[in-house]
Amino acid sequence: MQYIQADTATPVIKGITHSVDNDRSTIRWLWPEGVQVVYIHKANADEQLQLQPVPASLKLYTKDEYKANNGYYDRIEGFGRIVYTIFACVMTGGTAQLVLQADGSNRVVMSTGKAKIYFSIRQKSTLFKKLKSVHIQVTAEVPIAKEVLCYVKKQGAYPANKEDGTVYPFVAPFAPGKNVLPIIEIGKDDYIRLFFTDGRLYGQLYELIPE
């Protein structure tokens, strides 16, 4: 199996669309004239993209199968974003050649849903102490890297966003299920709240829910 770059004379995949229904994704595209077979590559969209995937990671799919199923169906498992790449296959001298499309028009990214992260923050203070104890609990549906979350401390009121106070990172990842963090001591007039370190990135993958 070989890869070739698309040019003006090469058949290419166009008009790719997708939809998600419960635990199943559907992908459809326009078949180029003369192409009877494609190869489909599926990968995590947040990992480095393989421009030329190894043959073992590719799935052969025929035009007859496509017509019979009215598209390509795949089962959704877990959470996150998945990228599918459809490679048109042409035969030259008995060798299968997969067409690389530099413009990415043979590629589609879809979200398989957001994993929920629940958190609770409990504060405890005593009359004669200048500090109060903060108990943080995080309950996750999936493993969460320590870089995903941070906590922000602000004096006088709860922080409204990540930039509204002093940012502190977490030092360990979060396991699926309940995570009870070490107690934090802060000033009596200080307040803490949890945020994503990068809301634009991690907000696509997780839903942060206060309890």
The whole-angstrom distance between residue 208's C-alpha and the CA centroid of its chain comes to: 15
Token code pair at residue 182: 């070490």
Confidence (pTM): 0.64
What is the rounded average pLDDT of the residues 112-124? Answer: 90
What would the pLDDT profile of 162-199 be if each residue is shown by its tens digit? 999 999 999 999 999 999 999 999 999 999 999 999 99
pLDDT over 90 at 111, yes or no: no
What would the pLDDT profile of 161-171 be if each residue is shown by its tens digit? 999 999 999 99
> 5-28 in b/e burial notation, b at 16+ Cβ within 10 A?
ebeeeeebbeebebeeeeeebbbe
What is the rounded average pLDDT of the residues 94-121? Answer: 91
What would the pLDDT profile of 128-157 be if each residue is shown by its tens digit? 788 999 999 999 988 999 999 999 999 999
| Nearest CA-CA partner of 135 in 98, 178, 77 | 178
Domains, the chain, in order of start with CATH, read 2-111 (2.60.40.10), 115-210 (2.60.40)
* 90 vs 64: CA distance, rounded Å: 16
What is the rounded average pLDDT of the residues 78-85? Answer: 84
pLDDT over 80 at 7, yes or no: yes
pLDDT over 90 at 40, yes or no: yes
Single-letter residue type at 24: R
